[in-house]
Chains A and B, each alone.
Chain A
């Protein structure tokens, strides 16, 4: 780590008071992670692997959405899934059983998010050679994962109808960093006061470029739009 560099380019700035010596640092705690994330992105680029960071609240239907998406993509792209949870391996098992694609489980050891270093360590256990796409299913949480760049090429999040259309107002950072917002559980719309148009409006207040895709993961309705977006992004990125 670089210790604070001032204009005279002295390495460490010390000032003395009676009781304590002060060492000036002036460093964002996100700085190391951002460097790690950029390095990981560059490494994945060399290997031709696209990393998608998928985020959501717990229970929004991430795993079911993934299974449906993988079903549509597995003949077109070579892919693997990394599941991040605080504990258990139920999600990784479910994905593997339902789709047959390689799926590994990461445990965050109580941490509420995954950072770039943890992502890299997880990827060490994935046979990356020949893969086009790795989908990282981040810890179910709308706060912390938004603050830590994982090294992904694109970020997507799933918001489900029962959670309410005002989520973009409550968790602005999450919505501002996502390229795609998938609205899941559209089949239960009649039972909730969820206004899809308002939701779209709130998402665009945070991020005018975000694409909003309504789906129903249970029936598969709309999932093809998300799968197509992902396929196009992977192809485009590989050509760059």
Chain B
């Protein structure tokens, strides 16, 4: 459900990029998806296939997902650690004063256009 909404945003941005670059066919869209972005890649793929095939510009276009590992920073001991393994509590010093450095991305990295 959530993923379908995200797909509509991707399609809107890709259409605009195609227009700006005078492109009439897109063969692939590469996404950077953070590990803790709440996006489920399989669902995103399913929603993409359904919605992209309804657009002439995107018919058959492949959605490629780069997963960005989530990293959290500890303000107390200045270390960085994997968010998925350890969560909000720093595994080195036990501090709760931590924040997410990366891993929340939902961004379009690039689009691929058939070379003619």
Tell me whether A22 is interfacial, beta carbon within 8 Å.
yes
Question: In the complex the two chains form, is A3's CB within 8 Å of B10's CB?
Answer: no
Q: In whole angstroms, how far apart are the Cα atoms of A122 and B18 in the complex?
A: 30
Question: In the complex the two chains form, is A27's CB within 8 Å of B2's CB?
Answer: no
Question: In the complex the two chains form, is B1's CB within 8 Å of A144's CB?
Answer: yes
Instruction: Please give the distance in Å from A64's CB to the nearest CB on chain B.
Output: 25
Question: In the complex the two chains form, is A20's CB within 8 Å of B112's CB?
Answer: yes
- A/B pair count, beta carbons within 8 Å: 88
Tell me whether A232 is interfacial, beta carbon within 8 Å.
no
Find the A residue at minimum CB distance from B14.
A25
Q: In whole angstroms, how far apart are the Cα atoms of A112 and B43 in the complex?
A: 15
How many residues of chain A are within 8 Å of chain B by beta carbon? 30
Question: In the complex the two chains form, is A25's CB within 8 Å of B110's CB?
Answer: yes
Residue of B23, B28, B96 near A205 (CB, 8 A) is B96
Q: Mark B29-71, 1 if CB is under 8 A from A, else 0.
A: 0000000001000000000000000000000000000000000
Q: In whole angstroms, how far apart are the Cα atoms of A205 and B6 in the complex?
A: 28
Chain A residues 20-36 with CB under 8 Å of chain B are 20-30, 32-33
Question: In the complex the two chains form, is A3's CB within 8 Å of B13's CB?
Answer: no
Chain B contacts for A32, CB-based, 8 A: 9, 12-13
Instruction: Please give the distance in Å from B105's CB to the nearest CB on chain A.
Output: 7
Chain A contacts for B2, CB-based, 8 A: 112-113, 143-144, 147
Given A1-B16, A22-B110, list of 16 further CB < 8 A pairs?
Answer: A1-B13, A1-B17, A18-B115, A19-B115, A20-B28, A21-B113, A23-B112, A26-B108, A27-B13, A29-B106, A29-B107, A33-B9, A111-B4, A112-B5, A113-B2, A144-B5
Q: Which B residues are within 8 Å of any A CB, using their own CB?
A: 1-2, 4-6, 8-10, 12-13, 16-17, 20-21, 23, 27-28, 38, 88, 96, 105-115
Q: List 25 A-B contacts (CB under 8 A).
A: A1-B13, A1-B16, A3-B17, A19-B115, A20-B27, A20-B112, A21-B112, A21-B113, A21-B114, A22-B111, A22-B113, A23-B21, A23-B112, A25-B17, A26-B107, A29-B13, A30-B106, A111-B4, A111-B5, A112-B4, A112-B5, A113-B2, A141-B1, A143-B2, A143-B38
